[in-house]
C-alpha cells in the first residue's frame, strides 16, 4: 500500500533522521549532496562539506531537501521539502545550530567527514567551528509519501 504522509508524520520523520540530501544547482549542474543535519521544526541545520561551492549556493539559494527511512525495499517513507539556503551569521545563530545538532546526533558514530574541528562533533564553544561549515535551510513547502508492503497471502520473488 502506498500513500501520502500527513503533516505530523512528515515532521516526525524530519526530526528523527540524521542524514538528508540537499538538491541544488551549482555552476549549471544539478547536485545531490548528503549532509548531516538536525531539524528544529522551522529550520534544517546542516554541516557543509568543505568541497561544497558556497558561492554557487549564495547565487542560487533555492534548494530541495530530502530525507528518507527505508528499512527494506517494501517499506519506506520520505519527505521532500523546498526552501532557501541561509547562512548563519554570528556566533549566536551558529551556537543555536550546533546545540540543535548536538541534541539530534550520536557523537560516537560521526565520521571524519563531519569533523570540522579537533573538538568536533558538535561543540558549541566557538573554538574552531566557523559559520563556513554550519548553515540552515528555511523550509517553505513539504510533501511526503510511504509504502508499506502487505505480505498477507503474497509471495515475494527473490532474484
Three-state SS sequence of 64-97: EEEEEEEEECCEEEEEEEEEEEEECCCHHHHHHH
Whether residue 25 is contained in a domain is answered as: yes
Tell me: the pLDDT tens digits for 56-82?
888 889 999 999 999 888 899 999 999
This model's pTM is above 0.85: no
157 domain-assigned: no
Q: Does the residue 102 lie in any domain?
A: yes
**Do residues 42 and 93 lie in contact, with contact meaning Cβ atoms separated by under 8 Å?**
no
Report yes or no on 107 lying in a domain.
yes
CATH code of 112's domain: 2.30.110.10
For residue 92, give its domain range: 2-147
> Best-predicted range by mean pLDDT among 50-64, 79-93, 123-137?
79-93
Do 98 and 122 touch, CB atoms closer than 8 A? yes
Q: Is residue 59 part of a domain?
A: yes
The mean per-residue pLDDT over the stretch 140-149 comes to: 95
> CB of 23 within 8 A of CB of 9?
no
Tell whether the model's pLDDT for residue 15 goes beyond 80: yes
Whether residue 85 is contained in a domain is answered as: yes
9 lies in a domain? yes
Note whether residue 153 is domain-resident.
Answer: no
Dist CA 55 CA 156 (whole Å): 49
Amino acid at each position: 500500500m502506498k500513500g501520502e504522509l500527513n503533516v505530523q508524520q512528515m515532521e516526525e520523520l524530519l526530526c528523527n533522521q540524521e542524514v538528508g540530501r540537499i538538491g541544488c544547482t551549482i555552476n549549471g549542474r544539478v547536485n545531490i549532496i548528503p549532509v548531516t543535519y538536525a531539524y528544529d521544526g522551522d529550520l534544517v541545520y546542516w554541516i557543509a562539506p568543505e568541497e561544497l561551492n558556497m558561492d554557487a549556493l549564495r547565487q542560487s539559494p533555492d534548494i530541495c531537501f530530502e530525507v528518507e527511512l527505508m528499512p527494506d525495499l517494501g517499506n519506506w517513507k520520505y519527505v521532500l521539502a523546498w526552501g532557501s539556503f541561509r547562512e548563519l551569521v554570528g556566533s549566536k545563530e551558529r551556537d543555536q545550530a550546533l546545540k540543535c545538532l548536538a541534541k539530534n546526533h550520536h557523537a560516537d558514530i560521526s565520521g571524519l567527514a563531519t569533523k570540522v574541528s579537533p573538538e568536533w562533533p558538535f561543540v558549541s564553544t566557538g573554538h574552531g567551528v566557523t559559520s563556513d561549515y554550519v548553515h540552515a535551510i528555511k523550509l517553505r513547502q513539504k510533501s511526503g509519501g510511504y509504502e508499506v508492503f502487505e505480505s498477507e497471502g503474497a509471495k515475494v520473488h527473490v532474484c
